[in-house]
Every structure is written in C-alpha cells, then in structure tokens.
Amino acid sequence: MQNEIMEKLKTYKNVAILGFGREGKSTYQFIRKQDPKFPLTILDAKEIELSDPFAIYMPYHGEADLKDFDLIIKTPGVPVYHFKDTTKEKITSQMELLLEVNRKNMIGITGTKGKSTTTTLIYNIFKDQMQKVFLAGNIGIPVFDQIEEYEGALIVVEMSALQLETVHYSPHIGIVLNLFLDHLDHAGSIENYHHSKMNIIRYQDPYDYGIYDADNEYLQKQDFHSMKGNLKTVSLKEKASIYLNEHGDIYLGDEFLLNKKEVVTELKGDHNLKNILFALLTSSIYHLDLKKTLQTIKNFKPLEHRMEYVGKYEDIHFYNDVIATIPEATINACKTLKEVDTLIFGGMDRNIDYQKLVQFLNGSSIGNFICMPTTGYKLAPLLDQNRVRKAETLEEAVDIAFQVTKKNHICLLSPAAASYEYFKNFEEKGKKYKELIRNRK
C-alpha cells in the first residue's frame, strides 16, 4: 500500500505539499519514511524552518505559486474552488492517494452534521466485532498516520467536504448523513459544497454501497441516477432500506429488526436516532451480530461538545453544544433537551440563512436569548425583545445565564454559527464555556 503510493509520487518531477498543518506534516513524514531523499517543496502562508537538504520552503500566496509543480498534495484547509481546471488537475490529497489503492477496505462518512458521532459509533461497533479496525480522517487523525498497519484492516474514515473536494475515488461504503447550508466561505457556493460531499459516493461501482438520508431536502435534489453504487436509504418518515414506522418499529427493508425502545443509548434526539440507523444498516451489510451491535450502542458515550451535559450549578443544568454551527443543529438541540430556558448563540457570520431559526425561537417557550456577536447581534432585532439579552463576551453570557435562567431548567450553548471570530476553534470555545461555569465564584 505505502509502496504503491510512493511509486506513484515518484512518477512526478516536481511535487509540492500545499499547507503544513497537521495533515501536511503527516504527508511529509510519510514520504520521508518511504524515501529520505525524495525532493519536495513545502508551500505554506507561514514561514517554516526545514532541516532537510531535500526539501525547500516556499511562501504561499495563491494559485500562481503552483504553476511549476506537476503534483500538489493539498491539505484540507486550503480551498481550491476558485482555481483553474488546469491547476485542479494537478491536485491530490492524502485521502485520494489512500482511496486509490485501498478504497475497498474503507467506510467513509460525511454530512454537514453528525459526522464525528456517527464515525466514532460505527468504528466502535466494528472494533467490538472485528480484529483490525482503524479510525481516521477529519476526526483528527490523518489517514497516513497509521498507514503501516492498514494491511488487511477496515478503516472507518470521517470525510469533510474539503477532504472530498478533489477526490476521484469513493470508499466501498460511502455514507452521506445529511446536507445543509454551511462552509460557504470555503466552498464558494452551496452547489460546490454539496458537490464535494457527494464525491463520497460519486465514483463507486455496483459492488459498493452508497447510503444517504432520504428525508433530507438537499439530498433529495441530488442526481442519484448517475451513481453506480448500490444505493441504500435511511428514513424516520417513510419506507426505506432502514426506517422507523409510526409504531416505533425499525425495519431493515421488509424485515422487522427491533423496536426503538430496545435501542438503549445516551445519544438523544431524532437526529441521533437517525445516526444509529446509519450504523445499524452499515453493520447489516457486514453481517455483524445485532446483539453485540446494540451493546456497543448502549455503551457509547456522546462526544465532547455535542449536547454535552456540563453539570448542575446553582440549580441550573448547563449543556455544551458548541459543535452546533448551523441553525438546524441548534433547533435540534433545543427540541431534544426540551427544558431549555436560556439559549446562548451567535458567532462568525458566513451568510447562512437564519429564517428558520428566528421562526423557531420566536415560537418556542425558551425564556432568554443571549445573543453574541456577530450573528447573534444580527438576529437580535428579529427576535421577541422581551427575551433578548446581549453579551459581548462568553464570560458575560455565562454571567447573564446564571442570573436569568429558571431554577432546575437548562442553559444551552448552541451557537448556530462558527467560533472562529473569537476562538481558535469550537473546541476552545466549548472548553472555555465549561471552565467559566465550573469556576464561577
């Protein structure tokens, strides 16, 4: 596997690694293990010091800097939607290089929301029943990091739109959990974003499986007629490959599988029930033991920052759902937790349509909307003014929440926006939120 990838790289004269973050460094280390003298150029906006006589650093300003290279191994953080086709043809990635040589042993999961939870759940299910299973991808583990151990193993991979943007191969099982409006700042348009996501099943053959949410309005608009894979659907509303009927029974095609009451889990809400159906369908394709699968689901703990219960402080239940970066996710969290009296929301403005969120909030019984810059301030005039509070900082928002939230009710941080304006990422914001609550004097 490693040899095949390296032999391909050696067919090119001038190879560059574009972006030297976690994945770029992983690519560099992989190449150096295979060939310490392979000539490389590292392009990054930040200056990099290299003590490697066979690698040089070049500052990256944009597409013009790529013209002299035959192959460009791109990291996910560099968007290429605006590049010319002649440049795009020279671009590959860790994900594509691995898919090209090992896609038959890969389960890929993508979607606007729920990727990490579903990927980790599927990984745990397979790990509990198979000998060699690896977790990798957008979950925080570059796919090259464990490549020396992949022989004869199953790889469960979370795939982001930016990782799928330029691939021309699809995994044996490709899962599209959902599509919503998001990442327009990186993709350039909703069409580009959704097209990238669909690459996870676009290049499958009839022996592969493409699984998607039949209820999702944006997926209903996709051209599945051009897909060659064995398509499977998931639904909570209608008959599908796996679905939930009005009695709470889960059916696998025409076969009764179990009642949803048998699915004992800490994963709350219909969106998580759907994620579980994706996992059950994937397990059935591999003929895994249903009882063992249900035991894994029962033992599964929700991931950090995803409707995470922080604890009860001053008789208020605090939840951290900072991963909710789109309106639909925030609405789901409010509906699932039910007893929400205070919602803290707002973040980076990426020109997402918030009409559904405004309508939901105004029609809800939530008592306090703590609006934070930038999107929170933008939406504040559209909300019931009797319930609006403004906070410049997360510290101020938490302080207000302690003052206004009803006792024995919930304060929920669910931004419906990205965290990048004031925080490095959503993890940093979530950890700060929990720290402010737990260390309050």
pLDDT in tens, 199-211: 999 999 999 999 9
How far is residue 6's CA from residue 320's CA, in Å, rounded to a whole number?
A: 43
Q: State yes or no: pLDDT of 188 exceeds 80.
A: no
Give the residue-averaged pLDDT of 282-297. 97
Q: Which of 180-184, 200-204, 270-274, 422-426 has the lowest mean pLDDT?
A: 180-184
Q: Which of 178-182, 234-238, 414-418 has the lowest mean pLDDT?
A: 178-182
Q: State yes or no: pLDDT of 441 exceeds 80.
A: no
Q: Is the CB of residue 425 less than 8 Å from the CB of residue 323?
A: no
Determine the pLDDT at residue 189.
83
Residues whose CB falls within 8 Å of the CB of residue 57, separated by 6 or more in sequence, listed in order: 41, 42, 43, 44, 47, 48, 49, 50
Confidence at 313, pLDDT banded by 50, 70, 90: very high
Residues β-bridged to residue 348: 418
Q: Tens digit of pLDDT for each residue in 53-78?
A: 999 999 999 999 999 999 999 999 88
Confidence at 386, pLDDT banded by 50, 70, 90: very high
Q: Tens digit of pLDDT for each residue in 78-109?
A: 888 889 999 999 999 999 999 999 999 999 99
Give the residue-averaged pLDDT of 203-221. 97
Confidence at 190, pLDDT banded by 50, 70, 90: confident
Q: Is the CB of residue 119 less than 8 Å from the CB of residue 108?
A: no
Percent of the chain with pLDDT over 70: 98
For helices 115-127 and 290-299, give the axis angle rounded to 10 degrees.
130
Residues β-bridged to residue 16: 41, 72
Give the residue-averaged pLDDT of 366-376. 97
User: What mean pLDDT, rounded, does the chain reach?
Assistant: 95
**Residue in the structure block whose two tokens are 């004031």:** 422
Helix ranges restricted to H, 84-155: 85-88, 94-102, 115-127
Q: Which two tokens stand for residue 377?
A: 């301030």
Backbone angles phi, psi at 106, to 5 degrees: -125, 135
Sheet of 173-176, strand order = 133-137, 154-158, 106-110, 173-176, 209-213, 230-235, 242-244, 249-252, 255-259
Give the residue-averaged pLDDT of 231-241. 97
Q: Is the CB of residue 334 less than 8 Å from the CB of residue 309?
A: no
Confidence at 184, pLDDT banded by 50, 70, 90: low
Give the residue-averaged pLDDT of 310-323. 96
Domain ranges of the chain: 2-92, 95-299, 308-438
**Residue in the structure block whose two tokens are 């560059």:** 16
Question: Considering only CA atoms, which of 209, 296, 284 is closest in space to residue 252?
Answer: 284
Q: State yes or no: pLDDT of 399 exceeds 80.
A: yes
For helices 115-127 and 270-285, give the axis angle rounded to 10 degrees.
40
Q: Is the CB of residue 433 less than 8 Å from the CB of residue 413?
A: yes
Regarding predicted confidence, which is higher, 6 or 166? 6
Q: Is the CB of residue 190 less than 8 Å from the CB of residue 199?
A: no
Q: CATH number of 2-92: 3.40.50.720, 3.40.50.1950, 3.40.50.20, 3.40.50.150? A: 3.40.50.720
pTM of the model: 0.92
Confidence at 395, pLDDT banded by 50, 70, 90: very high
Is it true that the peptide bond before 233 is cis, omega within 30 degrees of 0? no
Determine the pLDDT at residue 263.
94
Give the residue-averaged pLDDT of 429-433. 97
For 95-299, CATH number? 3.40.1190.10
Confidence at 187, pLDDT banded by 50, 70, 90: low
For 308-438, CATH number? 3.90.190.20
Q: State yes or no: pLDDT of 360 exceeds 70.
A: yes
Determine the pLDDT at residue 79.
84
